[in-house]
Amino acid sequence: MKRANLGKSLLVMTFIGALAGSSTAWGQVSFTRYRAMGDSLSHGTQGGLIVDYRTQPRAWPALLASKMGTSFPLPLLDKTTLVAGMRRQDYPSYQSCANLACNGADTGDTINDACESIPWYQFGYTWDFENAVLQPRVGHTQVSAAVADNATFVTFFLGGNEFLQCILQTGTIFEFAGIVGIDEVQPLGAKQPTSQYDFRQRYETAIHQLYAPGRGIAVGTFPKLNNIAAVMDKDEITAIVGANPMPDDCFTNEIIMAAIYRGWLPEWNVDMLADGQNYYTPAELQVINDAVTGYNATIREIAADPNHPCAVADFEQMVQDVSEGLIHVNGWRITDQYTINTVGRPWASMFSSDGVHPSDIGHALVAYSFIDAINSFYGTSIPQFTEAELTAILNNDRFADNDGDGRIEGLSAEAFYYCVNWFLGDTYTGDSGETPRSAKMLTLEITNPTMGRVTTTPEGPEHFTGSTVTLYALANIEGGKIFSHWEGDVPGGYSEENPLTVTMDSDKTVRAVFKCGNSVAAPLLMTILMLGTLALHRFRRR
């Protein structure tokens, strides 16, 4: 999606057209047999390790397929357990699926790791998500399965694990827990990002094997590390665990933060953040971001190769826009954080509680990016999400605080991820009484920004419908400026009250008008001019 240039809503949704039937094609591109490949981001994982019949239908490939107008059988898994899980036999898709993505996959896995039979004595359960997903395609990888299915369109959104493995390192936690054989783990010491050479070789091999005349392919880029919720700066960690010794310019990850928050062992406290093993320096973070930059450059170059041209979904830019607060859905700001204090504020995170995998609205934004890319590259007309459709997704997103009480009710696994929203394992928070609240946008304008500024209580520009906002006009007194009045969506279209209280019963635009005030300089200047004019008049009379 392009950087939003917004009016009242930063995310402008347009319905481009309607698809008819389950098999629609434009020119040489058909969506009849759409297949998705990738890792847990595409598989539908949320909240740590939860990927099953509850989360997969809301994953972005399923949303994209519905917009394409094509069937998309899912590899619906039974409720996640300590093992990867098993395929649910009560679904028609049990024997085949269109979403081939597997948890934990990297670029090499898609071309090298083949599905194996599940021994009878495991009763259908498997430790390997790939075996659970690809059954009964024994001997096939994700790539070869798509080729064997004669896929007419493929999305290849893969490469996150090449750098996410770095941020999921757990510092000294393993040592504290007393796990035998595990020494202190440096966040960038034990596992470096995949080399640029290896990434290119694997990625290009996969795309080369997938490409065929008439088969459409769309790939996606990846966000910078500091734009995902799992990486936390000093302010974020302090807001959760209180004062701590982590250096001001450094970062930590969610696992360290959650260990301190939970405090299950005496050693798990804020003192952990004095140990350099448990935080990232700016230089370390830059190493990973440089790797991401290189991966994205490779993705774009491979997609531009005339030997296997592909559409590119710029998810890197999407997440950047989210981090800058540019994306809104019906007055709700979509943010890249979930640990912020959202009480009474219409903000929703695009990440679920593990800080890495998308929330429901996050999945919708991924699908949005792919629709834009596919339509632009192939000249197709996949209908884009309307704002009403995105609002419906947001209203049912368990990772959005829809009632503004500061809690969410999304699923979370605590087996390996320790989440902060007071969850109890693979369950909901019990906050099931949430009633979605609508939100409105307050746009503030100033006739001449050099004359003054405007502040609000509470801060905005997002406010729940029906809430009141107090506006304060602050003139530039040193410049001899004074506040004149308000214009726009105020009672009667004009008000000299300052401060001014407005009720957010609709989207509003309010302009503050300042003017020049009386000063010593103005009368003095007029006096000089008058005296000068008088003197000149007398001179001429002589």
Q: What is the pLDDT of residues 506-529, one digit of tens each?
A: 999 999 999 987 654 444 444 444
First to last CA, the chain: 77
Q: Percentage of the chain with pLDDT > 90?
A: 51
**Residue 500 within any structural domain of the chain:** yes
- pLDDT value, residue 299: 97
Query: What confidence score (pLDDT) does residue 226 get?
Result: 86
Residues contacting residue 122 through CB under 8 Å, at least 6 positions apart: none
pLDDT of residue 15: 26
Average pLDDT over residues 99-114: 92
What is the helix (H) or strand (E) element at residue 311, kind and residue range? strand 311-313
* Residue 358 clears pLDDT 50, i.e. is over it: yes
Does residue 198 sit within a domain?
Answer: no
Provide the number of structural domains found in the chain: 1
Domain range for 507 is: 439-522
Is residue 381 within 8 Å of 79, Cβ to Cβ?
no
Highest mean pLDDT among 35-49, 61-75, 279-293, 420-434: 61-75
In a domain, 311, yes or no: no
Measured CA to CA, the distance from residue 212 to residue 171 in angstroms comes to: 45
pLDDT at 129 over 50: yes
What is the value of pTM for the model shown? Answer: 0.85
Quick check: 347 and 340 in contact, CB under 8 A?
yes
Q: How far apart are CA 378 and CA 156, in angstroms?
A: 16
User: Quick one: average pLDDT of 201-217?
Assistant: 95
pLDDT band at 47 (very low <50, low <70, confident <90, very high): confident
Q: Is residue 494 part of a domain?
A: yes
pLDDT tier for residue 398 given thresholds of 50, 70 and 90: confident
pLDDT level of residue 415 (50, 70, 90 thresholds): very low
427 φ/ψ angles, rounded to the nearest 5 degrees: -145, 175
- Does the residue 426 lie in any domain? no
Residue 84 in any domain: the answer is: no
Rounded to the nearest integer, the mean pLDDT of the chain is 82
User: 3-state secondary structure string, 479-497?
Assistant: HCEEEEEEEECCHHHEECC
**Residue 425 pLDDT level (bands cut at 50, 70, 90):** very low
186: Cβ–Cβ under 8 A, 6 or more apart, which residues?
A: 169, 171, 277
Which pLDDT does position 176 carry in this prediction? 59
- Please report the pLDDT score of residue 95 as a whole number: 82
- Asked if the model's pLDDT at residue 3 lies above 50, the reply is no
CA distance 217 to 374: 8
pLDDT at 334 over 90: yes
Q: Would you call 178 exposed, middle or buried from its count of C-beta atoms within 10 A (0-12, 13-18, 19+)?
A: exposed
Domain annotation covers residue 508: yes
Mean pLDDT over residues 96-101, rounded?
Answer: 94
Indicate if the pLDDT at residue 540 is higher than 80. no
Segment 487-506 shows an average pLDDT of 94
Q: According to the model, what pLDDT value does residue 21 have?
A: 30
Q: Which pLDDT value is given to residue 51?
A: 87
Does residue 380 fall inside a structural domain? Answer: no
* Token pair for 161: 């694990």
Give dist(CA 161, CA 357) in Å, integer.
Answer: 12
